[in-house]
Amino acid sequence: MVIDGHTAVCGLIGNPVAHTRSPLIHNGLAKELSVNLCYEAFPVTEENVGDAVKGAYALGILGLNVTVPHKERVIPYLKDMDGLAKKIGAVNTLVRTTDGYKGYNTDMPGLYRAMLSDGIKADGEKVIILGAGGVARAVAVMLADKAEQIYILNRTLEKAEKIALEVNSYCDRKVATAMELTDYKKLAGSKYLVIQATNVGMHPNCDRTPIEEDAFYEMVKAGYDLIYNPAETLFMKKVKMAGGEAYNGLKMLLYQGIIAFELWTGSKVSETVAGKIYDRLKESI
């Protein structure tokens, strides 16, 4: 692709960003779809978030992705927010409008699109979410109007209770229940869709998983570990050994990027193109 005066610029802000694979996704999509766009990663410290958002808009940057630790910090500098992003309370994509950036959360639609791609449905399912951080909260909000029941398991019960209360207030029904990790035995008797939403088991600490007992994994019909490095976590290995299906977070990374790209450019990314970028992502790990 030739970069010229008509080339649209997008990028990622966060700290750190050197490890990111987002340029591979977006520059790959631009090449595959013949879109005149380039994407770069910009390290931004906490105290410079506001200046970065204002400066990006002043420079004519078409859109930005936002990664940790700035997904909440960018919100005061936005002109508008999508409804899902408001519910989740976190933004990972900024889309240029006539008077500022509008914030979106494409992480959770990305997860849902990844699940559909893998043939996993959430509608009417009983779901267990491991963890009670920001990612777990976002997953719970996203699945609240789809799942039959959501069980949020965490070492600190109070954190899980806070998320369950928020989710139930959104839905106007008791869809979410908070439990301690060790209370999973109370749920025995069904097969669950399980989302592993902690950083336990992430490289380089690959020999860990939030729940060690094999009995838990006998309850798992399908397990999603939102970690993608390593490609197969201990959580995933245990799910597979117990006979369940297991997936990592790489497709979520892919599809959140695809949705952002579609928002910026108005393009529609086919599953064929998505598959090509996914293969490159796998090769990069």
Which CATH class for the 8-105+251-284 domain? Answer: alpha beta
The pLDDT > 90 percentage for the chain reads 94
93-97 and 100-104 beta bridge pairing: antiparallel
| pLDDT at 66 exceeding the cut of 90 | yes
Mean pLDDT of the chain: 95
Burial label for 272, CB within 10 Å (0-12, 13-18, 19+), is exposed
Across the range 159-175, mean pLDDT stands at 92
Give the model's confidence band at 173: pLDDT under 50 very low, under 70 low, under 90 confident, else very high.
confident
- Stated length of the chain: 285
| pLDDT at 184 exceeding the cut of 80 | yes
Give the model's confidence band at 215: pLDDT under 50 very low, under 70 low, under 90 confident, else very high.
very high
Specify the higher pLDDT residue, 173 or 210: 210
Cα–Cα distance, 212 to 53 (Å, whole number): 42
Q: What pLDDT, on the 0 to 100 scale, is given for residue 189?
A: 80
Q: What pLDDT, on the 0 to 100 scale, is given for residue 91?
A: 96
| Active-site option among 31, 71, 126, 186 | 71
Is 86 labeled as catalytic in the residue annotation? Answer: no
Least confidently predicted of 162-166, 170-174, 236-240, 274-278:
170-174
* Domain span(s) for CATH 3.40.50.720 in the chain: 109-248
Is the Cβ–Cβ distance between 108 and 141 less than 8 Å?
yes
| pLDDT at 190 exceeding the cut of 90 | no
192-196 and 220-225 beta bridge pairing: parallel
| pLDDT at 246 exceeding the cut of 80 | yes
Give the model's confidence band at 127: pLDDT under 50 very low, under 70 low, under 90 confident, else very high.
very high
Q: What pLDDT, on the 0 to 100 scale, is given for residue 170?
A: 85
Token digits for 28? 């790959």
Across the range 147-161, mean pLDDT stands at 97
Query: Is 109-248 in CATH node 3.40.50.720?
Result: yes
* Domain span(s) for CATH 3.40.50.10860 in the chain: 8-105+251-284
Cα–Cα distance, 15 to 267 (Å, whole number): 29
Record the pTM.
0.93
